[in-house]
Structure 1
Amino acid sequence: MNPLQCALIEKAGHDNGFEHVLSSASDSVILASARHRSQAVVTALGDGVDVCFQPATSVLVMELLRSFQSWAKADDVFFVLTLADLAALLRRAASLSQALPNQAVCDYHAAVAQAVKALSDECRSTEVESLVRQRVGQERYRDALLTYWGGACAVTGVTVTEALRASHAKPWAECADDVERLDSFNGFLLVANLDALFDRFLISFDDAGHLLTSTRLSQSDLPGLGIHSGMTLRWLTSEHRHYLQWHRERFLLGA
Protein backbone atom coordinates (compact mmCIF):
# COMPACT_ATOMS: atom_id res chain seq x y z
CA MET A 1 0.00 0.00 0.00
CA ASN A 2 1.53 3.29 -1.05
CA PRO A 3 1.12 6.50 1.01
CA LEU A 4 -1.57 7.86 -1.32
CA GLN A 5 -3.69 4.69 -1.01
CA CYS A 6 -3.29 4.80 2.75
CA ALA A 7 -4.34 8.46 2.93
CA LEU A 8 -7.39 7.86 0.71
CA ILE A 9 -8.52 4.90 2.81
CA GLU A 10 -8.08 6.87 6.04
CA LYS A 11 -10.11 9.75 4.56
CA ALA A 12 -12.85 7.37 3.43
CA GLY A 13 -13.02 6.06 6.99
CA HIS A 14 -13.02 9.53 8.53
CA ASP A 15 -15.84 10.72 6.26
CA ASN A 16 -17.99 7.61 6.69
CA GLY A 17 -18.19 6.75 10.37
CA PHE A 18 -14.72 5.33 11.09
CA GLU A 19 -12.87 8.48 12.08
CA HIS A 20 -10.01 6.88 14.01
CA VAL A 21 -6.98 5.04 12.58
CA LEU A 22 -5.80 2.42 15.06
CA SER A 23 -2.87 1.32 12.94
CA SER A 24 -1.51 1.71 9.45
CA ALA A 25 0.82 -1.01 8.17
CA SER A 26 2.41 -1.70 4.82
CA ASP A 27 -0.65 -3.49 3.47
CA SER A 28 -3.60 -2.61 5.70
CA VAL A 29 -5.32 0.10 7.76
CA ILE A 30 -7.41 -0.57 10.88
CA LEU A 31 -10.29 1.89 11.25
CA ALA A 32 -12.43 2.49 14.34
CA SER A 33 -14.79 5.06 15.88
CA ALA A 34 -15.68 6.67 19.18
CA ARG A 35 -19.37 6.42 18.26
CA HIS A 36 -19.53 2.63 18.00
CA ARG A 37 -17.39 -0.41 18.79
CA SER A 38 -16.99 -1.98 15.35
CA GLN A 39 -13.65 -1.93 13.53
CA ALA A 40 -12.77 -2.33 9.86
CA VAL A 41 -9.49 -3.76 8.57
CA VAL A 42 -8.91 -2.46 5.03
CA THR A 43 -6.25 -4.34 3.06
CA ALA A 44 -4.94 -3.12 -0.29
CA LEU A 45 -4.91 -5.56 -3.20
CA GLY A 46 -3.79 -5.09 -6.76
CA ASP A 47 -7.16 -4.03 -8.15
CA GLY A 48 -9.11 -2.99 -5.05
CA VAL A 49 -9.31 -3.53 -1.30
CA ASP A 50 -10.55 -6.19 1.08
CA VAL A 51 -12.59 -4.98 4.05
CA CYS A 52 -12.81 -7.29 7.06
CA PHE A 53 -15.12 -6.22 9.88
CA GLN A 54 -14.59 -6.92 13.55
CA PRO A 55 -18.16 -6.15 14.58
CA ALA A 56 -19.44 -5.08 17.96
CA THR A 57 -22.59 -7.12 17.31
CA SER A 58 -22.79 -10.53 15.66
CA VAL A 59 -25.61 -9.52 13.32
CA LEU A 60 -23.70 -6.65 11.64
CA VAL A 61 -22.11 -8.72 8.88
CA MET A 62 -25.40 -10.52 8.22
CA GLU A 63 -27.11 -7.17 7.71
CA LEU A 64 -24.30 -5.90 5.48
CA LEU A 65 -24.68 -8.99 3.30
CA ARG A 66 -28.28 -7.94 2.68
CA SER A 67 -27.06 -4.84 0.84
CA PHE A 68 -23.61 -5.91 -0.39
CA GLN A 69 -23.93 -9.62 -1.17
CA SER A 70 -22.18 -9.26 -4.53
CA TRP A 71 -19.09 -7.84 -2.78
CA ALA A 72 -18.77 -10.67 -0.26
CA LYS A 73 -15.66 -12.87 -0.49
CA ALA A 74 -16.10 -14.74 2.79
CA ASP A 75 -18.29 -14.62 5.89
CA ASP A 76 -16.84 -11.32 7.11
CA VAL A 77 -14.75 -10.05 4.18
CA PHE A 78 -15.93 -7.75 1.39
CA PHE A 79 -14.01 -6.85 -1.77
CA VAL A 80 -14.55 -3.37 -3.26
CA LEU A 81 -13.07 -1.86 -6.38
CA THR A 82 -13.50 1.88 -5.89
CA LEU A 83 -13.30 4.49 -3.15
CA ALA A 84 -16.99 5.24 -3.68
CA ASP A 85 -17.80 1.57 -2.99
CA LEU A 86 -15.58 1.61 0.10
CA ALA A 87 -17.32 4.75 1.36
CA ALA A 88 -20.77 3.19 0.88
CA LEU A 89 -19.76 -0.01 2.71
CA LEU A 90 -18.16 1.83 5.64
CA ARG A 91 -21.06 4.27 5.93
CA ARG A 92 -23.63 1.46 6.14
CA ALA A 93 -21.48 -0.50 8.60
CA ALA A 94 -21.06 2.54 10.85
CA SER A 95 -24.75 3.45 10.86
CA LEU A 96 -25.79 -0.14 11.56
CA SER A 97 -23.21 -0.43 14.34
CA GLN A 98 -24.87 2.52 16.06
CA ALA A 99 -28.41 1.25 15.48
CA LEU A 100 -28.08 -2.43 16.37
CA PRO A 101 -27.82 -3.81 19.90
CA ASN A 102 -26.13 -3.00 22.17
CA GLN A 103 -24.69 0.30 20.99
CA ALA A 104 -28.17 1.85 20.88
CA VAL A 105 -28.60 1.06 24.58
CA CYS A 106 -25.25 2.62 25.50
CA ASP A 107 -26.10 5.76 23.51
CA TYR A 108 -29.54 5.88 25.15
CA HIS A 109 -28.11 5.76 28.69
CA ALA A 110 -25.69 8.57 27.84
CA ALA A 111 -28.46 10.69 26.31
CA VAL A 112 -30.75 10.13 29.31
CA ALA A 113 -28.00 11.12 31.74
CA GLN A 114 -27.41 14.31 29.78
CA ALA A 115 -31.14 15.15 29.59
CA VAL A 116 -31.67 14.52 33.31
CA LYS A 117 -28.64 16.61 34.20
CA ALA A 118 -30.14 19.50 32.22
CA LEU A 119 -33.33 19.46 34.32
CA SER A 120 -33.72 22.20 36.88
CA ASP A 121 -34.01 21.20 40.55
CA GLU A 122 -37.65 22.35 40.53
CA CYS A 123 -38.52 20.03 37.65
CA ARG A 124 -36.56 17.01 38.79
CA SER A 125 -38.65 14.14 40.16
CA THR A 126 -39.00 10.41 39.66
CA GLU A 127 -42.03 10.92 37.42
CA VAL A 128 -40.32 13.56 35.28
CA GLU A 129 -37.18 11.45 34.94
CA SER A 130 -39.35 8.51 33.85
CA LEU A 131 -40.97 10.65 31.16
CA VAL A 132 -37.55 11.86 30.02
CA ARG A 133 -36.33 8.26 29.76
CA GLN A 134 -39.34 7.28 27.67
CA ARG A 135 -39.10 10.32 25.37
CA VAL A 136 -35.37 9.87 24.77
CA GLY A 137 -35.80 6.13 24.35
CA GLN A 138 -38.53 6.49 21.75
CA GLU A 139 -36.45 9.02 19.83
CA ARG A 140 -33.44 6.70 19.90
CA TYR A 141 -35.56 3.71 18.89
CA ARG A 142 -37.03 5.60 15.94
CA ASP A 143 -33.56 6.68 14.81
CA ALA A 144 -32.35 3.09 15.06
CA LEU A 145 -35.24 1.74 12.98
CA LEU A 146 -34.86 4.49 10.38
CA THR A 147 -31.23 3.44 10.01
CA TYR A 148 -31.89 -0.29 10.02
CA TRP A 149 -34.70 -0.15 7.44
CA GLY A 150 -32.92 2.40 5.28
CA GLY A 151 -35.55 5.08 5.91
CA ALA A 152 -38.31 3.03 4.25
CA CYS A 153 -41.40 1.25 5.57
CA ALA A 154 -40.68 -2.38 6.40
CA VAL A 155 -43.72 -3.44 4.34
CA THR A 156 -44.54 -0.87 1.68
CA GLY A 157 -41.13 0.68 1.08
CA VAL A 158 -42.60 4.18 1.50
CA THR A 159 -39.77 6.66 2.18
CA VAL A 160 -41.77 9.68 3.40
CA THR A 161 -40.06 10.05 6.77
CA GLU A 162 -42.89 12.11 8.26
CA ALA A 163 -45.30 9.23 7.63
CA LEU A 164 -43.14 6.53 9.22
CA ARG A 165 -43.49 5.28 12.79
CA ALA A 166 -41.27 3.09 14.96
CA SER A 167 -43.57 0.25 16.01
CA HIS A 168 -42.69 -1.96 18.96
CA ALA A 169 -43.76 -5.60 18.73
CA LYS A 170 -43.41 -5.93 22.50
CA PRO A 171 -44.57 -2.56 23.86
CA TRP A 172 -42.25 -0.22 25.75
CA ALA A 173 -44.17 -0.63 29.03
CA GLU A 174 -44.05 -4.43 28.87
CA CYS A 175 -40.36 -4.82 28.03
CA ALA A 176 -38.20 -6.42 30.70
CA ASP A 177 -35.37 -3.87 30.39
CA ASP A 178 -33.79 -1.20 28.23
CA VAL A 179 -32.13 -3.83 26.06
CA GLU A 180 -35.56 -5.02 24.91
CA ARG A 181 -36.94 -1.48 24.62
CA LEU A 182 -34.10 -0.30 22.40
CA ASP A 183 -33.63 -3.52 20.42
CA SER A 184 -33.90 -2.74 16.70
CA PHE A 185 -35.42 -6.19 16.20
CA ASN A 186 -38.28 -5.53 18.64
CA GLY A 187 -40.56 -4.13 15.98
CA PHE A 188 -40.65 -2.55 12.57
CA LEU A 189 -40.58 0.80 10.80
CA LEU A 190 -44.12 1.14 9.47
CA VAL A 191 -46.14 3.70 7.56
CA ALA A 192 -48.64 5.39 9.91
CA ASN A 193 -51.75 3.38 8.98
CA LEU A 194 -49.98 0.06 9.49
CA ASP A 195 -48.35 1.32 12.69
CA ALA A 196 -51.75 2.18 14.19
CA LEU A 197 -53.09 -1.30 13.41
CA PHE A 198 -49.92 -3.10 14.55
CA ASP A 199 -49.85 -1.12 17.79
CA ARG A 200 -53.42 -2.21 18.58
CA PHE A 201 -52.82 -5.86 17.58
CA LEU A 202 -55.21 -5.61 14.62
CA ILE A 203 -52.50 -6.82 12.28
CA SER A 204 -49.42 -8.97 12.83
CA PHE A 205 -47.00 -11.05 10.77
CA ASP A 206 -46.31 -14.76 10.53
CA ASP A 207 -42.82 -16.26 10.71
CA ALA A 208 -42.39 -15.83 6.96
CA GLY A 209 -43.27 -12.11 7.21
CA HIS A 210 -46.75 -12.34 5.67
CA LEU A 211 -49.23 -9.81 7.03
CA LEU A 212 -52.07 -11.20 9.16
CA THR A 213 -55.35 -9.34 9.72
CA SER A 214 -57.68 -9.59 12.70
CA THR A 215 -61.24 -10.82 12.25
CA ARG A 216 -62.21 -7.55 13.93
CA LEU A 217 -61.36 -5.84 10.64
CA SER A 218 -64.08 -6.22 8.03
CA GLN A 219 -63.02 -7.13 4.52
CA SER A 220 -64.72 -4.01 3.20
CA ASP A 221 -62.52 -1.80 5.42
CA LEU A 222 -59.20 -3.31 4.37
CA PRO A 223 -58.71 -1.32 1.13
CA GLY A 224 -59.44 1.94 2.96
CA LEU A 225 -56.87 0.97 5.59
CA GLY A 226 -54.26 0.45 2.90
CA ILE A 227 -54.23 -3.33 3.27
CA HIS A 228 -54.29 -5.67 0.30
CA SER A 229 -53.57 -9.33 -0.37
CA GLY A 230 -49.95 -10.42 -0.45
CA MET A 231 -48.48 -7.71 1.79
CA THR A 232 -45.30 -8.91 3.47
CA LEU A 233 -42.26 -7.64 5.31
CA ARG A 234 -39.36 -6.70 3.04
CA TRP A 235 -37.24 -9.08 5.12
CA LEU A 236 -37.39 -10.86 8.46
CA THR A 237 -34.49 -12.16 10.56
CA SER A 238 -34.33 -14.79 13.27
CA GLU A 239 -33.72 -11.97 15.79
CA HIS A 240 -37.18 -10.56 15.00
CA ARG A 241 -39.06 -13.79 15.63
CA HIS A 242 -38.91 -13.84 19.44
CA TYR A 243 -40.60 -10.45 19.64
CA LEU A 244 -42.94 -11.20 16.76
CA GLN A 245 -44.14 -14.38 18.49
CA TRP A 246 -45.00 -12.29 21.57
CA HIS A 247 -46.94 -9.82 19.39
CA ARG A 248 -48.73 -12.57 17.47
CA GLU A 249 -49.91 -14.26 20.66
CA ARG A 250 -51.50 -10.99 21.78
CA PHE A 251 -52.92 -10.52 18.27
CA LEU A 252 -54.51 -13.99 18.32
CA LEU A 253 -56.14 -13.33 21.68
CA GLY A 254 -58.11 -10.48 20.11
CA ALA A 255 -58.57 -11.98 16.68
Structure 2
Amino acid sequence: MNPLQRALIEKAGHDNGFEHVLPAVGDAVTLASARHRASAMVVPMAGGFEVRFQPASPALVPELLRSFKLWAVAEGVFRVPTLADLATLLRRAANLSQALPNQAVRDYHAAVAQVLADVSAESRGTEVERMVRQRVGQDRYRDALLDYWGGACAVTGVAVTEALRASHAKPWADCKDDAERLDAFNGFLLSANLDALFDRFLISFDDTGRLLVSAGFVQNDLDKLGIHQGMALRWLASEHQYYLRWHRERFFLRVL
Protein backbone atom coordinates (compact mmCIF):
# COMPACT_ATOMS: atom_id res chain seq x y z
CA MET A 1 0.00 0.00 0.00
CA ASN A 2 1.43 3.35 -1.00
CA PRO A 3 0.97 6.57 1.03
CA LEU A 4 -1.64 7.94 -1.37
CA GLN A 5 -3.80 4.83 -1.08
CA ARG A 6 -3.55 4.97 2.72
CA ALA A 7 -4.48 8.64 2.77
CA LEU A 8 -7.50 8.09 0.51
CA ILE A 9 -8.77 5.20 2.66
CA GLU A 10 -8.31 7.19 5.87
CA LYS A 11 -10.19 10.14 4.38
CA ALA A 12 -13.02 7.89 3.18
CA GLY A 13 -13.30 6.54 6.73
CA HIS A 14 -13.12 9.97 8.35
CA ASP A 15 -15.84 11.38 6.08
CA ASN A 16 -18.17 8.39 6.43
CA GLY A 17 -18.48 7.49 10.09
CA PHE A 18 -15.10 5.86 10.81
CA GLU A 19 -13.10 8.85 11.96
CA HIS A 20 -10.36 6.97 13.87
CA VAL A 21 -7.44 5.02 12.43
CA LEU A 22 -6.14 2.19 14.60
CA PRO A 23 -2.55 0.90 14.59
CA ALA A 24 -1.63 -0.67 11.26
CA VAL A 25 -2.00 -4.43 10.75
CA GLY A 26 0.03 -5.51 7.74
CA ASP A 27 -1.22 -3.77 4.60
CA ALA A 28 -4.65 -3.01 6.08
CA VAL A 29 -5.98 0.32 7.30
CA THR A 30 -8.17 -0.33 10.35
CA LEU A 31 -10.94 2.22 10.80
CA ALA A 32 -13.02 2.76 13.93
CA SER A 33 -15.21 5.37 15.59
CA ALA A 34 -16.05 6.88 18.96
CA ARG A 35 -19.74 6.87 17.97
CA HIS A 36 -20.13 3.11 17.58
CA ARG A 37 -18.14 -0.07 18.25
CA ALA A 38 -17.79 -1.53 14.75
CA SER A 39 -14.46 -1.45 12.94
CA ALA A 40 -13.43 -2.01 9.34
CA MET A 41 -10.14 -3.28 7.92
CA VAL A 42 -9.58 -1.93 4.41
CA VAL A 43 -6.99 -3.26 1.99
CA PRO A 44 -6.39 -1.84 -1.51
CA MET A 45 -6.31 -4.49 -4.20
CA ALA A 46 -6.33 -4.74 -7.95
CA GLY A 47 -9.65 -3.34 -9.09
CA GLY A 48 -10.77 -1.79 -5.82
CA PHE A 49 -10.76 -2.39 -2.08
CA GLU A 50 -11.45 -5.28 0.26
CA VAL A 51 -13.33 -4.37 3.45
CA ARG A 52 -13.55 -6.73 6.43
CA PHE A 53 -15.95 -5.65 9.17
CA GLN A 54 -15.76 -6.45 12.86
CA PRO A 55 -19.38 -5.71 13.84
CA ALA A 56 -20.57 -4.92 17.35
CA SER A 57 -24.05 -6.21 16.47
CA PRO A 58 -24.68 -9.58 14.78
CA ALA A 59 -27.37 -7.85 12.71
CA LEU A 60 -24.88 -5.56 10.92
CA VAL A 61 -23.68 -7.93 8.19
CA PRO A 62 -27.16 -9.25 7.28
CA GLU A 63 -28.37 -5.66 7.00
CA LEU A 64 -25.41 -4.69 4.79
CA LEU A 65 -26.21 -7.61 2.51
CA ARG A 66 -29.56 -6.00 1.67
CA SER A 67 -27.76 -3.25 -0.23
CA PHE A 68 -24.36 -4.71 -1.04
CA LYS A 69 -24.91 -8.41 -1.71
CA LEU A 70 -23.11 -8.23 -5.06
CA TRP A 71 -19.98 -7.04 -3.28
CA ALA A 72 -20.00 -9.72 -0.56
CA VAL A 73 -17.28 -12.36 -0.88
CA ALA A 74 -17.36 -13.95 2.59
CA GLU A 75 -18.95 -13.45 6.02
CA GLY A 76 -18.41 -9.77 6.83
CA VAL A 77 -16.08 -9.25 3.84
CA PHE A 78 -16.89 -7.03 0.84
CA ARG A 79 -14.95 -6.06 -2.28
CA VAL A 80 -15.86 -2.69 -3.76
CA PRO A 81 -14.59 -1.44 -7.12
CA THR A 82 -14.14 2.30 -6.49
CA LEU A 83 -13.33 4.80 -3.77
CA ALA A 84 -16.87 6.19 -4.06
CA ASP A 85 -18.26 2.69 -3.47
CA LEU A 86 -16.00 2.32 -0.44
CA ALA A 87 -17.39 5.58 0.96
CA THR A 88 -20.97 4.38 0.39
CA LEU A 89 -20.34 1.04 2.12
CA LEU A 90 -18.60 2.64 5.10
CA ARG A 91 -21.32 5.27 5.51
CA ARG A 92 -24.07 2.65 5.54
CA ALA A 93 -22.11 0.46 7.97
CA ALA A 94 -21.58 3.42 10.31
CA ASN A 95 -25.25 4.43 10.21
CA LEU A 96 -26.38 0.90 10.92
CA SER A 97 -23.83 0.47 13.71
CA GLN A 98 -25.27 3.54 15.44
CA ALA A 99 -28.85 2.34 14.96
CA LEU A 100 -28.68 -1.36 15.76
CA PRO A 101 -28.85 -2.82 19.28
CA ASN A 102 -27.40 -1.93 21.61
CA GLN A 103 -25.53 1.22 20.59
CA ALA A 104 -28.70 3.31 20.89
CA VAL A 105 -29.11 2.16 24.49
CA ARG A 106 -25.55 3.16 25.39
CA ASP A 107 -26.01 6.54 23.70
CA TYR A 108 -29.31 7.00 25.52
CA HIS A 109 -27.88 6.30 28.97
CA ALA A 110 -24.99 8.69 28.32
CA ALA A 111 -27.36 11.41 27.09
CA VAL A 112 -29.71 11.00 30.07
CA ALA A 113 -26.78 11.24 32.49
CA GLN A 114 -25.59 14.42 30.77
CA VAL A 115 -29.03 16.06 30.89
CA LEU A 116 -29.60 15.11 34.54
CA ALA A 117 -26.17 16.46 35.45
CA ASP A 118 -27.41 19.88 34.37
CA VAL A 119 -30.55 19.65 36.53
CA SER A 120 -30.25 21.16 39.98
CA ALA A 121 -30.48 18.73 42.90
CA GLU A 122 -33.63 20.39 44.25
CA SER A 123 -35.36 20.05 40.87
CA ARG A 124 -34.66 16.36 40.54
CA GLY A 125 -37.28 13.77 41.35
CA THR A 126 -38.97 10.72 40.01
CA GLU A 127 -41.26 12.66 37.67
CA VAL A 128 -38.48 14.91 36.34
CA GLU A 129 -36.25 11.92 35.64
CA ARG A 130 -39.11 10.07 33.97
CA MET A 131 -39.78 13.00 31.65
CA VAL A 132 -36.08 13.37 30.83
CA ARG A 133 -35.71 9.68 30.08
CA GLN A 134 -38.77 9.63 27.82
CA ARG A 135 -37.83 12.78 25.90
CA VAL A 136 -34.21 11.74 25.40
CA GLY A 137 -35.27 8.19 24.57
CA GLN A 138 -37.71 9.30 21.91
CA ASP A 139 -35.04 11.52 20.33
CA ARG A 140 -32.52 8.65 20.32
CA TYR A 141 -35.07 6.23 18.92
CA ARG A 142 -35.92 8.61 16.09
CA ASP A 143 -32.21 9.02 15.30
CA ALA A 144 -31.80 5.24 15.24
CA LEU A 145 -34.70 4.76 12.82
CA LEU A 146 -33.50 7.57 10.57
CA ASP A 147 -30.12 5.83 10.40
CA TYR A 148 -31.60 2.36 9.89
CA TRP A 149 -34.09 3.34 7.17
CA GLY A 150 -31.72 5.72 5.42
CA GLY A 151 -33.88 8.76 6.23
CA ALA A 152 -36.85 7.50 4.18
CA CYS A 153 -40.30 6.12 5.06
CA ALA A 154 -40.21 2.35 5.56
CA VAL A 155 -43.22 1.98 3.25
CA THR A 156 -43.36 4.82 0.73
CA GLY A 157 -39.69 5.80 0.56
CA VAL A 158 -40.61 9.47 1.13
CA ALA A 159 -37.44 11.21 2.32
CA VAL A 160 -38.89 14.44 3.73
CA THR A 161 -37.46 14.21 7.25
CA GLU A 162 -39.96 16.67 8.70
CA ALA A 163 -42.84 14.41 7.59
CA LEU A 164 -41.43 11.23 9.13
CA ARG A 165 -42.20 9.78 12.55
CA ALA A 166 -40.51 7.06 14.60
CA SER A 167 -43.33 4.56 15.19
CA HIS A 168 -43.09 1.96 17.94
CA ALA A 169 -44.74 -1.40 17.29
CA LYS A 170 -44.66 -2.18 21.01
CA PRO A 171 -45.31 1.19 22.66
CA TRP A 172 -42.83 2.86 25.00
CA ALA A 173 -45.03 2.30 28.07
CA ASP A 174 -45.46 -1.42 27.33
CA CYS A 175 -41.78 -2.21 26.79
CA LYS A 176 -40.12 -4.25 29.53
CA ASP A 177 -36.84 -2.28 29.47
CA ASP A 178 -34.79 0.34 27.66
CA ALA A 179 -33.39 -2.26 25.27
CA GLU A 180 -36.90 -2.84 23.88
CA ARG A 181 -37.81 0.85 23.91
CA LEU A 182 -34.75 1.78 21.86
CA ASP A 183 -34.53 -1.30 19.65
CA ALA A 184 -34.47 -0.16 16.02
CA PHE A 185 -36.45 -3.29 15.17
CA ASN A 186 -39.31 -2.27 17.49
CA GLY A 187 -41.10 -0.21 14.87
CA PHE A 188 -40.65 1.68 11.64
CA LEU A 189 -39.90 5.10 10.24
CA LEU A 190 -43.25 6.13 8.76
CA SER A 191 -44.80 9.15 7.10
CA ALA A 192 -47.07 11.07 9.48
CA ASN A 193 -50.36 9.62 8.22
CA LEU A 194 -49.13 6.03 8.41
CA ASP A 195 -47.62 6.68 11.83
CA ALA A 196 -50.92 7.99 13.22
CA LEU A 197 -52.77 4.88 12.02
CA PHE A 198 -50.03 2.45 13.09
CA ASP A 199 -49.87 4.06 16.55
CA ARG A 200 -53.62 3.47 17.00
CA PHE A 201 -53.53 -0.11 15.64
CA LEU A 202 -55.63 0.84 12.62
CA ILE A 203 -52.97 -0.55 10.30
CA SER A 204 -50.32 -3.21 10.80
CA PHE A 205 -48.09 -5.49 8.70
CA ASP A 206 -48.11 -9.24 8.12
CA ASP A 207 -45.09 -11.56 8.35
CA THR A 208 -44.00 -10.60 4.84
CA GLY A 209 -44.33 -6.86 5.42
CA ARG A 210 -47.61 -6.43 3.53
CA LEU A 211 -49.84 -3.65 4.87
CA LEU A 212 -52.94 -4.69 6.81
CA VAL A 213 -55.80 -2.18 7.04
CA SER A 214 -58.68 -2.08 9.51
CA ALA A 215 -61.98 -3.21 8.01
CA GLY A 216 -63.58 -0.08 9.48
CA PHE A 217 -62.16 2.15 6.74
CA VAL A 218 -64.16 3.16 3.68
CA GLN A 219 -62.28 3.22 0.39
CA ASN A 220 -62.80 6.94 -0.09
CA ASP A 221 -60.94 7.70 3.15
CA LEU A 222 -58.13 5.32 2.20
CA ASP A 223 -57.77 7.06 -1.15
CA LYS A 224 -57.51 10.44 0.53
CA LEU A 225 -54.89 9.08 2.94
CA GLY A 226 -52.85 7.73 0.02
CA ILE A 227 -53.27 4.13 1.18
CA HIS A 228 -53.78 1.52 -1.50
CA GLN A 229 -53.71 -2.24 -1.99
CA GLY A 230 -50.24 -3.70 -2.36
CA MET A 231 -48.43 -1.29 -0.05
CA ALA A 232 -45.68 -3.01 1.96
CA LEU A 233 -42.54 -2.39 3.96
CA ARG A 234 -39.46 -1.83 1.81
CA TRP A 235 -37.84 -4.70 3.69
CA LEU A 236 -38.42 -6.72 6.86
CA ALA A 237 -35.78 -8.29 9.11
CA SER A 238 -36.36 -11.38 11.23
CA GLU A 239 -35.74 -9.21 14.31
CA HIS A 240 -38.89 -7.20 13.47
CA GLN A 241 -41.17 -10.23 13.80
CA TYR A 242 -41.43 -10.37 17.61
CA TYR A 243 -42.61 -6.75 17.79
CA LEU A 244 -44.88 -7.09 14.78
CA ARG A 245 -46.65 -10.08 16.32
CA TRP A 246 -47.28 -7.98 19.43
CA HIS A 247 -48.65 -5.15 17.30
CA ARG A 248 -50.86 -7.42 15.18
CA GLU A 249 -52.51 -8.89 18.27
CA ARG A 250 -53.73 -5.40 19.20
CA PHE A 251 -54.63 -4.67 15.57
CA PHE A 252 -56.83 -7.77 15.30
CA LEU A 253 -58.43 -7.10 18.69
CA ARG A 254 -59.37 -3.64 17.46
CA VAL A 255 -60.72 -5.05 14.20
CA LEU A 256 -62.88 -7.49 16.13
Q: Normalising by structure 2, report the TM-score.
A: 0.96
Q: CA deviation at 1:122?
A: 3.7
Question: SS of 1:220's equivalent?
Answer: helix
The aligned residue for residue 18 of structure 1 is 18
Q: Percent identity?
A: 73
Question: Greater helix percent: which structure?
Answer: 2
Cα separation, 2, equivalents of 1:101 and 1:132: 21
Q: Which residue in the other structure is 2:162 paired with? A: 162
Superposed CA deviations along residues 71-126 of structure 1, whole A, max 9, x for unmatched, are: 22223111112222111111111111011110010000000000111112342111
The match for 1:43 is 43
Instruction: Identify the residue that residue 74 of structure 1 maps to in structure 2.
Output: 74
CA distance in 1, matches of 2:128, 2:218: 41
Q: What CA distance in whole angstroms lies between the structure 1 residues aligned with 2:172 and 2:56?
A: 25
1:167-215: CA deviations, max 9, x gaps? Answer: 0000000000000000000000000111000000000000011111112
Q: Mind listing any 5+ residue stretches in structure 1 that lack a counterpart?
A: none
Distance 1:220 1:92 in 2: 39
Unaligned runs of 5+ in 2: none
Alignment match, 1:2: 2
Counterpart of 1:113 in structure 2 is: 113
For structure 1, which segment, 2-11 or 165-174, has the greater mean C-alpha deviation from structure 2 after superposition? 2-11
Measure, in 2, the Cα distance between the counterparts of 1:223 and 1:171: 27
Match of 1:100 in 2: 100
Q: Write the deviation string for residues 16-68 of structure 1: whole angstroms up to 9, x where unpaired.
A: 21122222244211111111110101122122210010100011111111122
Equivalent residue pairs, number: 255
Aligned Cα root-mean-square deviation (Å):
1.2
- The secondary structure found in structure 1 opposite 2:140 is helix
1:178 aligns with 2:156: no
Q: Counterparts of 1:167-246 in structure 2 under 5 Å?
A: 167-246=167-246
SS of residue in 2 equivalent to 1:134? helix
Structure 1 residue ranges (4+ consecutive) displaced by more than 4 angstroms after TM superposition: none
Counterpart CA distance in 2 for 1:58 and 1:131 is 32
Q: What is the identity, as a one-letter code, of the residue corresponding to 1:227?
A: I
Whether the 8 Å CA contact 1:6–1:24 is kept in 2: the answer is no
